[in-house]
Structure 1
Amino acid sequence: MSDEKPKAPNNRTLTLSPEEQQHYQAGLLNLAGPASAEMLGDRILHQDLFAVLDWLPQGWVDLLFLDPPYNLTKTFNQSSFRGRSLEDYQAWLGSWLPKLLGVLKPTASVYICGDWRSAAAIQILAEKYLIVRNRITWEREKGRGAKHNWKNCSEDIWFCTAGDRYTFNAEAVRLRRRVIAPYTDDHGNPKDWQKTEDGNYRLTYPSNLWTDLTVPFWSMPENTDHPTQKPEKLLAKIILASSQPGDMVFDPFLGSGTTAVVAKKLGRRYAGVELDLLYCCLAQKRLHLAEGDRQIQGYEEGVFWERNSSDRR
């Protein structure tokens, strides 16, 4: 809904008027029985994942992005998740993950998000049902300091595949880094870097440590009031690396729609499930806006830029 207080001039956080929510709600999908892959293509289901899990088709997903509630107590608009013991969290994951993996094609990739509280449970379940290829750690630079502990400013993403044949486009996710020590060869030519009017840069291949991401905040047009919204740039890295144009990207914990929006911007098909009506409608609005603006902050000219590189963040 729209905020009662007027927003600051530079506050670009997306909101919904009652009329917009009614409009976007009409485009949501609600299953009453088994669905086909064609039915789910480029649609958002406004339902509880666990109510529709048995109705999802088999073998139709090229890239599965999983961002389930982490093992901590958190409120998501009208719903909440309560932290539990590590053993109980692992049991919760195990109650739905194996069945959900039936949606995968044999060549599919899976990315599973978590933090240090959920790490052990995710690792155990992922290794049981998938091939774990790597664990990405990304710097989540927002957050409060702590006087009696280390500030928590990182999260993890497990990169897994369904089998030994899978997509990985390393060239598509190179990072442009500023050169601090511009070494040259014997003739004074740049050695593995490029001189530009904006400075000296080097293209580097992707690693499993991501320090170039900005968590969405009030001055960014992708920002919503969702409490755990992932950056579009983060999803762009994953989608470009682990899918091809036209592939199906599925997010069963869609939130405010980042996965679907980035998939659309990058020429992939998408499907998502989200329980909360407000977030579903925000996702629909973001998808509508993406029809006229395919820009992804921090991704330009086919490469990713370091955080705070000019206006690219």
Structure 2
Amino acid sequence: MKFAPLIREARQRALLSQSELAKAVGVSPRAIWLAEQGAGTLRTLVPVLEFLRIAIAGLPPASTLGARFRAARLKREMSLQDLADQCGLSIPTLRSLERGVGRIACLEAAIRVLAPSIRVRKSSKTRREAPRGVVSAPFQKFINADCIETMQSLPAGSISLVTTSPPYNAGKEYESDLSVREYMQFAERWISCIPRLLTPTGALWINVGHIMHSNTEAVPLTYHYYPLLVRHGLRLVQEVVWHARGGLRYGKRFAHRTERWMWFVKNPENYIFNLDDVRDGTLNITDDPRNSPQGQNPTDYWHYPRVVGGRGASPEKTEHPCQFPVAMVERIIRACSNPGDVVLDPFGGAGSTAVAAFLNNRSSISVEIDRRYHNIAKSRLDGVRQQHAGQFPSPQEEHWIEIKTAANF
């Protein structure tokens, strides 16, 4: 039995952030984060189980979790030494568990031996009233405006995840031709808006390619964005390589077939990462019983086909020339946000982020300065809604956050 997914799922059903749950049970947000990673202590586990009404079946009745654990051992007529030998824990550790203290991982290891049939009893009340300021039905907002002006008008701490692909200054139809210095001044302006908007556990995922320093020198934009993002208080968790067939062809260098995702967070000690939601079952290539039935942790090398037009066009292709696949954004959204959270794409383009958010029960704000792409994104989401009619809650009509911009909501 694993407590981590039970806690995370119950918290998400209750529409609570990790910080809100931590405040409710009197522990730190990091303690909740650790518990949802399968770590932490019983000091966190016990009040969380009680607050979220997670009922454990399969242990004898008693006043506390530790007492129930001890009663189960006595019922099976096992000594501490017998149990210690079978579960690989020390006798002092088992005594601590019976007093209701110790580590969650130790309790899970002992339960696997002592009560392998333990399970969660379904509660008749699995959802409480949503916390003030949070809506139960997600919304999708499309704003046809400048992203910097729009982000400056959004409330602080209102966004859980920013995922976007800014212009690369690569000569696309929607870009201005800027010098490297001018481009980085533009990057500084939009990046400076992000830290204020993110929640304490919020994250930024930014997809970037290359920028031309000269006719022969294409420099990865990660080199430019990393110091800029750190200077504004964000911290790098990981760089992910996106590999796809097709791309730039060269005669005097190797073919270019990759781009980069940069994953930054506001607090490297406390951020959202829902591993179980993005496990890849295709990576279970053996029958090893230690493998998670949900699959393995995806690597930092992702293969997603490009969204292309012309002969063999991708089904999701629109008129936008640089569209990334919805499936790739879905992985980011599931991993780094929770249901009901708000996802922002300041360079909304064809609306891939909005579609991915909708399909995964998140709210989204998509900002796009080009009227044509703005309309394409809205029509695209309307089509997706029709395809999935009845499978998702009705979109929220009232605004969760009051946004005052030049755009007309």
Q: Give the TM-score normalised by the residue count of structure 2.
A: 0.54
- Aligned length in residues: 240
SS at structure 2 position matched to 1:138: strand
| Aligned residue type for 1:156 | R
Judged with a 3 Å threshold, the aligned counterparts in structure 2 of structure 1 residues 95 and 37 are, in CA distance, closer, same or farther, namely farther
Whether contact under 8 Å (1:136, 1:209) holds in the other structure is yes
Residue 69 of structure 1 and its aligned partner are, at CA, apart by 0.5
Whether contact under 8 Å (1:66, 1:253) holds in the other structure is yes
In the alignment, the residues of structure 1 paired with residue 189 and residue 375 of structure 2 have an alpha-carbon distance, to the nearest angstrom, of: 28
**1:215 matched to 2:312:** no
Deviates more, 1:90-99 or 1:254-263: 90-99
Which residue of the partner structure matches residue 204 of structure 1? 296
What is the aligned counterpart of 1:169 among 258, 264, 274? Answer: 274
Whether contact under 8 Å (2:139, 2:362) holds in the other structure is no
Runs of 5+ in structure 1 lacking a partner? 1-35, 184-189, 195-200, 296-313
Which residue of the partner structure matches residue 226 of structure 1? 320
Which residue of the partner structure matches residue 165 of structure 2? 67
> Larger RCO: Structure 1 or Structure 2 (Cα < 8 Å, ≥ 6 residues apart)?
1
Judged with a 3 Å threshold, the aligned counterparts in structure 2 of structure 1 residues 289 and 128 are, in CA distance, closer, same or farther, namely same
Residue 206 of structure 1 and its aligned partner are, at CA, apart by 1.5
Residue 41 of structure 1 and its aligned partner are, at CA, apart by 4.9
Which residue of the partner structure matches residue 58 of structure 1? 156
- Cα deviation digits, residues 83-118 of structure 1 (max 9, x gap): 522x44333211231123321111111111112431
Which residue of the partner structure matches residue 310 of structure 1? none
Which residue of the partner structure matches residue 115 of structure 1? 209
SS at structure 2 position matched to 1:74: coil
In the alignment, the residues of structure 2 paired with residue 165 and residue 294 of structure 1 have an alpha-carbon distance, to the nearest angstrom, of: 34
Residue 126 of structure 1 and its aligned partner are, at CA, apart by 1.8
Which residue of the partner structure matches residue 243 of structure 2? 139
Judged with a 3 Å threshold, the aligned counterparts in structure 2 of structure 1 residues 107 and 144 are, in CA distance, closer, same or farther, namely closer
Whether contact under 8 Å (2:242, 2:260) holds in the other structure is yes
Judged with a 3 Å threshold, the aligned counterparts in structure 2 of structure 1 residues 217 and 105 are, in CA distance, closer, same or farther, namely same
Residue 203 of structure 1 and its aligned partner are, at CA, apart by 2.8
Which residue of the partner structure matches residue 191 of structure 1? 288
Whether contact under 8 Å (1:113, 1:155) holds in the other structure is yes
Whether contact under 8 Å (1:114, 1:155) holds in the other structure is yes
Whether contact under 8 Å (2:222, 2:262) holds in the other structure is no
Judged with a 3 Å threshold, the aligned counterparts in structure 2 of structure 1 residues 115 and 210 are, in CA distance, closer, same or farther, namely same
Structure number having the greater helix percentage = 2
**1:98 matched to 2:98:** no
Deviates more, 1:160-169 or 1:99-108: 99-108
Judged with a 3 Å threshold, the aligned counterparts in structure 2 of structure 1 residues 58 and 83 are, in CA distance, closer, same or farther, namely same
Q: Which runs of 4+ in 1 moved over 4 A?
A: none
| Aligned residue type for 1:120 | Y
Identity over the aligned pairs, expressed in percent?
Answer: 25
Residue 220 of structure 1 and its aligned partner are, at CA, apart by 3.0
Whether contact under 8 Å (1:192, 1:202) holds in the other structure is no
Which residue of the partner structure matches residue 4 of structure 1? none
In the alignment, the residues of structure 2 paired with residue 191 and residue 46 of structure 1 have an alpha-carbon distance, to the nearest angstrom, of: 51
Runs of 5+ in structure 2 lacking a partner? 1-132, 211-218, 390-409
Once the two structures are superposed, the pairs formed by residues 1-313 of structure 1 within 5 Å of their partners are: 41-76=139-174, 80-85=175-180, 87-116=181-210, 117=219, 118-129=221-232, 130-163=234-267, 164-177=269-282, 190-191=287-288, 203-211=295-303, 213-218=304-309, 219-294=313-388
State the Cα RMSD in Å: 2.8
Q: Give the TM-score normalised by the residue count of structure 1.
A: 0.69
Residue 142 of structure 1 and its aligned partner are, at CA, apart by 1.9
In the alignment, the residues of structure 1 paired with residue 152 and residue 340 of structure 2 have an alpha-carbon distance, to the nearest angstrom, of: 25
| Aligned residue type for 2:240 | I
- Cα deviation digits, residues 35-71 of structure 1 (max 9, x gap): x999x95210011113334322221001111311114
SS at structure 2 position matched to 1:256: coil
Residue 177 of structure 1 and its aligned partner are, at CA, apart by 2.9
In the alignment, the residues of structure 2 paired with residue 146 and residue 45 of structure 1 have an alpha-carbon distance, to the nearest angstrom, of: 38
| Aligned residue type for 1:278 | R
Residue 119 of structure 1 and its aligned partner are, at CA, apart by 1.5
Whether contact under 8 Å (1:113, 1:157) holds in the other structure is yes
Whether contact under 8 Å (1:72, 1:83) holds in the other structure is no
Structure number having the greater strand percentage = 1
Which residue of the partner structure matches residue 32 of structure 1? none
